[in-house]
Amino acid sequence: MEELTIALTKGRLAEKSMKLLTRAGYPCREMEEDSRKLIFRNEELGLSFFLSKGPDVPTYVEYGAADIGITGSDIIMEENRRAYEVLDLGFGKCRMCVAGPESARSLLEHHEMIRVASKYPNIAREYFQNRRHQTVDIIKLNGSVELGPIVQLSDVIVDIVETGSTLRENGLTVLDTVCSLSARMIVNQVSMQMKTDRILELIGRVRDALNEG
C-alpha cells in the first residue's frame, strides 16, 4: 500500500480535521493520547499525520514532505504555495476583514495613505492594491493585531473575525469584508500524479463524510 502523509494545523483545526478523517475511515488512535509528539502513525492504514504551525502546512505540501495538508484558506492565500486545493471542509468558518475605530472609515472612503497592520501582509497588499486601488503602508505583526490602532501603530488592521468579540472588546469595528474563510484540503502536485488512486479515494471518502454531516 502507498504511504500517505498528512500535515495538520496544530490546535483546534487539527482536532476538527481528525474528527472528519476518522469519520471518513482514516483514524489515528496514537493521536488521541495526550502527548507532545508531533508525528503519529496508523501502521495498518499506511498513514502518517503530523502537526505543524498553520503557515508551514502549505510549505510541507509544496515540497512533498506531506502529500496532503489541512489548513485555513487565509493561510493558503497568504502563503501562495504550489499545491492543488481539493476540498472546502466547511469548518473553521470566519471572515478576513478590514477593521479599525469607526473614525478610520473616512480614511478608507477617501483613499487616504494609511497604515495597515496585519499578520497577512500579502492578503492586505492584494486587497488595497487591486480592490481598493489605495496606496497603503503595510506593517507585518505576528499576533494580537488589534493592538495596532489602539497604540497608534496603524490606522486599521486586516485580520480574521470569527465571533467579533476581540474587536468589540477593544473598541474596534469591521469596516469592510475582504473574503470568507474556511478550512481547506490541499494536495502536493507530484503526489497527485504518483498516488492518484489513494488520494482520490481519500478525497471521495472525506467528501462523503462531509455530505453525511
Residue 62 or 146: which CB sits closer to ligand PRP?
A: 146
Query: 3-62: which residues touch ligand PRP (CB under 6 A)?
Result: none
Contacts 24+ apart (CB under 8 A), 137-143: 137/113, 139/115, 141/117, 143/119
Work out how close the CB of 158 gets to ligand PRP at its nearest, in angstroms, rounded to a whole number.
10
Query: 130-149: which residues touch ligand PRP (CB under 6 A)?
Result: 143-146
Residue 135 or 144: which CB sits closer to ligand PRP?
A: 144
Selection from 54, 65, 62, 71 nearest residue 16 by Cα: 71
Work out how close the CB of 94 gets to ligand PRP at its nearest, in angstroms, rounded to a whole number.
7
Phi, psi (degrees; rounded to nearest 5) at 146 = -60, -20
Work out how close the CB of 163 gets to ligand PRP at its nearest, in angstroms, rounded to a whole number.
3
Binding residue for ligand PRP (CB under 6 A) from 159, 172, 181, 206?
A: 159
Q: Determine the distance from the C-alpha atom of residue 12 to the mean position of all C-alpha atoms in its chain, rounded to a whole number.
A: 12
Copy the grid coordinates of residue 188: 502536493
DSSP label at 179?
E
Cell numbers 481519500: residue: 202
Interface segment toward ligand PRP; rule CB under 6 A; list 73-81, 122-130, 163-171, 175-183: 163-171
CA dist 107 and 114 (Å) reads: 7
Residue 42 or 173: which CB sits closer to ligand PRP?
A: 173
Work out how close the CB of 116 gets to ligand PRP at its nearest, in angstroms, rounded to a whole number.
14
Q: Does 162 bind ligand PRP (CB under 6 A)?
A: yes
Interface segment toward ligand PRP; rule CB under 6 A; list 43-51, 104-112, 160-168, 173-181: 160-168
Binding residue for ligand PRP (CB under 6 A) from 4, 77, 161, 178?
A: 161
Q: Determine the distance from the C-alpha atom of residue 60 to the mean position of all C-alpha atoms in its chain, rounded to a whole number.
A: 14
CA dist 46 and 39 (Å) reads: 13
Binding residue for ligand PRP (CB under 6 A) from 22, 150, 164, 176?
A: 164
Q: Does 99 bind ligand PRP (CB under 6 A)?
A: no
Count of residues in the chain: 213
CA dist 191 and 144 (Å) reads: 37
Copy the grid coordinates of residue 78: 497568504
Residue 59 or 166: which CB sits closer to ligand PRP?
A: 166
Site of interaction with ligand PRP (CB under 6 A): 143-146, 159-166
